[in-house]
Amino acid sequence: MEKLIITAAISGAEVTKEHNPVVPYTIEECVREASLAYKAGASIIHLHVRKDDGTPTQDKNRFKEVMDAIRVECPDAIIQPSTGGAVGMTNDERLQPTELYPEMATLDCGTLNFGGDEIFENTENTIKYFGQRMIENNIKPELEVFDKSMIDMALRLHKKGFIKSPMHFDFVMGVNGGISGTLRDFVFLRNSIPADATYTVAGVGRFEFPLATAAIIDGGHVRVGLEDNLYISKGVLTKSNGELVEKVVRLAKELGREIATPAEAREILGLKKR
């Protein structure tokens, strides 16, 4: 079985220090959280950035500052900026980090309810626009799917040339508005992607570690982090992204799965270090 790629989604755009005081806002805090996750075994850092007061931003200069600072502590980590940003941002605002030519970036594959009155909007034309930009800039998209229909959308746009093979998916499961985090739905998603595709799973909240375990057994990959889950165990806030990654590493060891280094993750995903 392939080695396990662990992604740490260290910050997100929705969670705040009121939810867990270790949610990073400043550059120093982002470096601390990325570095703890990297040292624990994460090879990919999925990144959202904030202003110092915690407001999410897709500002290219802020991304550059944070990414440069993370690279000092985590020289070979794969840094994967979000192009999802935060609900309500415009497409061009969201696409700014692609101007930094990262190896990877997220590509969200559909619209969904995102709690309360929030709608995370990704029309078909938006997905085409983002896909085209990533092809032009030689950026490997991580296809964020919050529901089965989004896999179908990605497959259709792949046929039309907006997404290249081999595709890499992130099953984001358990968002209030998306697919549930049950094992039944995990099997449904993993059986719906092409044979040459890879996937990682991001279980939201209490689904994080059960779905990580399923992916470890299945030969998939795992995403954890404060963006998706604030707790190390029921009712106990995690001390860091590093602690969440350490738990995945322990589960993988128990189940006989080795952890991929960043170089091995690049090999598995077909990335070229920039």
Q: Which is nearer to Zn ion, 100 or 257 (CB)?
A: 100
Joined together, the tokens standing for residue 73 give 């502590």
Contact between 44 and ligand KMH by CB under 6 A: the answer reads no
Contact between 147 and ligand KMH by CB under 6 A: the answer reads no
Contact between 186 and ligand KMH by CB under 6 A: the answer reads no
In the block, residue with structure tokens 């935060």: 86
Binding residue for ligand KMH (CB under 6 A) from 7, 35, 58, 82?
A: 82
Pick one of ligand KMH, Zn ion, none as the site partner of residue 108 (Cβ within 5 to 8 A by kind).
Answer: ligand KMH
Maximum distance among all alpha carbons in the chain?
46
Binding residue for Zn ion (CB under 5 A) from 7, 82, 98, 122?
A: 82
Using DSSP, state whether 210 is helix, strand or coil. helix
Q: Which is nearer to Zn ion, 126 or 257 (CB)?
A: 126
Long-range contacts of 58-64 (CB under 8 A, 24+ apart): 58/82, 58/83, 58/85, 58/89, 58/93, 58/94, 58/95, 58/96, 58/97, 59/96, 60/96, 60/97, 60/99, 60/100, 63/96, 63/97, 63/100, 64/100
| CA-wise closest residue to 142 among 94, 79, 68, 208 | 79
Contact between 86 and ligand KMH by CB under 6 A: the answer reads yes
Contact between 11 and Zn ion by CB under 5 A: the answer reads no
Minimal distance in Å, beta carbon 73 to Zn ion? 21
Size of interface with ligand KMH, in residues (CB under 6 A):
11
Minimal distance in Å, beta carbon 106 to Zn ion? 6
Would you say how long the chain is, in residues?
A: 274
x/- site string to ligand KMH, residues 106 to 145, per CB under 6 A?
x-x-----------x-----------------------x-
Phi, psi of 133 (to 5 degrees): -60, -40
In a 13 Å sphere around the CA of 136, the CA atoms on its Cβ side amount to 10
Using DSSP, state whether 78 is helix, strand or coil. strand
Minimal distance in Å, beta carbon 195 to Zn ion? 27
Joined together, the tokens standing for residue 147 give 């529901």
Pick one of ligand KMH, Zn ion, none as the site partner of residue 78 (Cβ within 5 to 8 A by kind).
Answer: none
Chain residues in the site for Zn ion (CB under 5 A): 82
Binding residues (CB under 6 A) for ligand KMH: these are 13-14, 82-84, 86-87, 106, 108, 120, 144
